[in-house]
Amino acid sequence: MSLAATPGASGAWRRTHTCGELRAEHVGQAVVLNGWVHSRRNLGGIYFLDLRDRYGLTQVKLPAELAERVHFSAEWVLSVRGEVVRREAPNRELPSGEIEVRAVDIEVLSDATVPPFEIRDELGTAVETRLQYRYIDLRRRPLQQALIHRSRFINAMRRAFERQGFIEVETPILTKATPEGARDYLVPSRVHPGQFYALPQSPQIFKQILQVAGFDRYFQVARCFRDEDLRADRQPEFTQLDMEMSFVVEEDIFRAWEAVLVETFRESLGIALSTPFPRLSWRQAMERYGVDKPDTRFGMELCDVAAWVPSSGFGVFEAALARGERVLALPVKGGAEAISRGQMKSLEDLGKTHGAGGIAWWKPGEEGGGAGPLAKFCEGESGRRLLELTGSTRGDLLLLCAAKQKVAWAALGALRNHLGRRLGLIPEGRWNFLWVTEFPMFEYDEESGRWASAHHPFTAPVDPTLGGDTPDHGRLASRAYDLVLNGWELGSGSIRIHQRELQARIFRLLGISEEEAKRKFGFLLEALGSGAPPHGGFAMGLDRVVALSLGQEQIRDVIAFPKTTSAADLMCGAPSTVSPEQLSEVHIDLAGRAREGR
């Protein structure tokens, strides 16, 4: 038999069963299996191979004559014809471990070079190598199971939305550049010299226009693109489950999503979720946890101790209050013994990485005093007052930060998350969902020296009057909301602006002139003036929620072909240079300037 032979057109090599399908009830049947050579063994003249596909693995026993006639190695693709027999020594760890296939004939469908790494569950190979040979990496069972789970999870979500009367509508990939907080990926136009499409950061404007068009319950599994710095939970292209509803308020959106997630977790994981999910306003979340995506699986909440400062005699804290700053505390139950004086240095350093000038601490003693830089300011009534405010006792640890509000929140919020993990306070098997609502409407951009939308410019304000004729940007709250799971943001949404005049006013508050608004968003403003219903929506990052549902924090292994943290595709070699001819066709010169149309 020629190893280079093309499989016969008769299809005699085609499988009758998968490699994970055969069981004891199939004994005596003639079968054909197709798959990859997982391993080959010679046990004193008795030859075996393990044949693998995505469904499982089957042991094949080869007669000596066949083993000598047909040559193959690891990862070659074979078709094996034979009879199912019982194994003399069953493998109880393998679903097909009671049987094996006694081979009658083998056809080589494809040979293979030596793989760059072994195909096994646990692998220490460098990520870069795995990404370069992703087609090999994807043969490993953990990645295959993750992608199978992803498919089931997303399809369960689809079915759940359809049961609520939603319809799936695809929106354009080539669209108009709009400011949504990140840089757009731009695509030059060949037929419109010097003009560009943008790849969508989200279907935001199109799904709002669908509401104007009367599609009151829309959803889409949408591909989105953002040219931004990457992290472990970010990719330049990603998938989100996007939805929009008309004639709704926030609670309608929440109930729709809670029903979808209950069904999805039940169908794909066999997990029962409790609803309704808790709600916290953004300010409540920040005051209690220091972050807007709190992990509520454990306690350890922040406390405002400004009322204690005057009795402490600590000049640094008194000066901070006089400057309008905050003095906040993080009580750590049992922290006095769990965290040594030497370990306090790493906590202080963590606080400083978030902008804090320092972290003061106190371990209360028997009668006031105790240990730590704050001990001498916590004697007698002063100490009793601080313990009362923070609900602390001897044996606890108090971490205090005096800084601008944003910095104090960030420093103590980071310390809370760090200590929750370090002290083993986070229980396993908990699914703590949380809606965080009423985010700030605007945030000040120090680089540009102007106010920007905290969410996006189409988000409705809590106060539709915007505080009157002279609005205070920093005090305005929006009808934006996030869904958080175990300290991870799953997605964001909002009730939208559905009145043209209010949308135009928001643009003005953002410093967007009428001319610029018309140029960038004229079609949206016209649509809003054509009879727009009150509407709102939400988009969930599917890469992230699928990873979390598998107990993973890294999204790379639930994406078939991810990119590196520098947005590179190591398998394809993208991004790459293109020929001058290709650039000329889209009217771009090598310096990136648009050419005149010809």
Enumerate residues 6+ apart whose C-beta is below 8 A from 79: 7, 13, 14, 15, 32, 33, 34, 106, 107, 109
In a domain, 45, yes or no: yes
Pairing of the two strands 167-168 and 217-225: parallel
Count how many Cα atoms sit within 13 Å of the Cα of residue 70 in the half-sphere of its side chain: 27
What is the model's pLDDT at position 36?
98
- Taking only the tens place, the pLDDT of each residue in 565-590 is 889 999 999 999 999 999 999 999 87
Instruction: Tell me how far apart the alpha carbons of residues 117 and 41 are, in angstroms, rounded to a whole number.
Output: 19
What is the model's pLDDT at position 324?
96
What is the model's pLDDT at position 72?
96
Residue 437 and residue 281 in contact, taking contact as beta carbons nearer than 8 Å: yes
Count how many Cα atoms sit within 13 Å of the Cα of residue 39 in the half-sphere of its side chain: 9
What is the model's pLDDT at position 8?
65
In a domain, 157, yes or no: no
Enumerate residues 6+ apart whose C-beta is below 8 A from 4: none
Res 296 pLDDT > 90: yes
Residue 68 and residue 45 in contact, taking contact as beta carbons nearer than 8 Å: no
Residue 304 and residue 327 in contact, taking contact as beta carbons nearer than 8 Å: yes
What is the model's pLDDT at position 6?
60
Q: Domain boundary residue among 110, 145, 178?
A: 110
- Taking only the tens place, the pLDDT of each residue in 499-547 is 999 999 999 988 888 898 888 888 899 999 999 999 999 999 999 999 9
Residue 397 and residue 363 in contact, taking contact as beta carbons nearer than 8 Å: yes
Q: Which residues pair with 539 in a beta bridge?
A: 242, 492
In a domain, 313, yes or no: yes
Res 170 pLDDT > 80: yes
Instruction: Tell me how far apart the alpha carbons of residues 326 and 132 are, in angstroms, rounded to a whole number.
Output: 50
In a domain, 428, yes or no: no
Q: What is the mean pLDDT of the chain?
A: 93
Instruction: Pull the structure tokens for residue 35.
Output: 């798959």
In a domain, 316, yes or no: yes
In one-letter notation, the amino acid at residue 308 is W
Q: Which residues pair with 530 in a beta bridge?
A: none
> Residue 597, SS3?
coil
Q: Which residues pair with 80 in a beta bridge?
A: 33, 106
Instruction: Tell me how far apart the alpha carbons of residues 69 and 72 are, in angstroms, rounded to a whole number.
Output: 10
Residue 378 and residue 369 in contact, taking contact as beta carbons nearer than 8 Å: yes
CA angle 462, 464, 465 (to 5 degrees): 125
Res 22 pLDDT > 90: yes
For the range 121-126, what are the long-range contacts, defined as Cβ-Cβ under 8 Å and sequence gap of 24 or more?
Answer: none
Q: Which residues pair with 481 in a beta bridge?
A: 437, 493
What is the model's pLDDT at position 597?
45
Res 594 pLDDT > 90: no
- Taking only the tens place, the pLDDT of each residue in 315-345 is 999 999 999 999 999 999 999 999 998 899 9
- Taking only the tens place, the pLDDT of each residue in 197-218 is 999 999 999 999 999 999 999 9
Q: Domain boundary residue among 422, 450, 472?
A: 422
Q: Domain boundary residue among 422, 449, 477?
A: 422
Tally of domains in the chain: 2
Instruction: Tell me how far apart the alpha carbons of residues 50 and 322 are, in angstroms, rounded to a whole number.
Output: 74
Pairing of the two strands 433-437 and 279-281: parallel
Higher pLDDT, 597 or 150: 150
Could you tell me the residue range of the domain that residue 414 belongs to?
Answer: 298-422
Instruction: Cis check for the bond before 575: say yes or no (omega within 30 of 0).
Output: yes
Instruction: Tell me how far apart the alpha carbons of residues 47 and 65 are, in angstroms, rounded to a whole number.
Output: 10
What is the model's pLDDT at position 471?
83
In a domain, 548, yes or no: no
433: pLDDT confidence band, cut at 50, 70 and 90?
very high
Residue 534 and residue 247 in contact, taking contact as beta carbons nearer than 8 Å: yes
Alpha helices by DSSP H, 364-470: 381-390, 405-422
Q: Which residues pair with 183 in a beta bridge?
A: 227
What is the model's pLDDT at position 3?
40
Residue 151 and residue 54 in contact, taking contact as beta carbons nearer than 8 Å: no
In one-letter notation, the amino acid at residue 586 is V
Instruction: Tell me how far apart the alpha carbons of residues 201 and 185 are, in angstroms, rounded to a whole number.
Output: 9
What is the model's pLDDT at position 452?
85
CA angle 311, 314, 319 (to 5 degrees): 105
Residue 166 and residue 253 in contact, taking contact as beta carbons nearer than 8 Å: no
- Taking only the tens place, the pLDDT of each residue in 369-422 is 789 999 999 988 999 999 999 999 999 999 999 999 999 999 999 999 999 999
In a domain, 353, yes or no: yes
Distance of CA 153 to the CA centre of its chain: 14
- Taking only the tens place, the pLDDT of each residue in 47-92 is 999 999 999 999 999 999 999 999 999 999 999 999 999 999 999 9
Residue 359's CATH number: 3.30.1360.30
Res 1 pLDDT > 50: no
Residue 37's CATH number: 2.40.50.140
Could you tell me what percent of the chain has a pLDDT over 90? 82
DSSP for 167-213 reads EE----SSB----SSSBPPEEE-SSSTT-EEE--S-SHHHHHHHHHT
598: pLDDT confidence band, cut at 50, 70 and 90?
very low
In a domain, 459, yes or no: no
Res 488 pLDDT > 60: yes
Which sign does the torsion angle of CA 573, 202, 438, 421 carry?
Answer: negative
Cβ-based burial of 408 (10 A; exposed 0-12, middle 13-18, buried ≥19)? buried
Instruction: Tell me how far apart the alpha carbons of residues 162 and 20 are, in angstroms, rounded to a whole number.
Output: 33
Among 150, 168, 171, smallest CA distance to 159 is for: 168
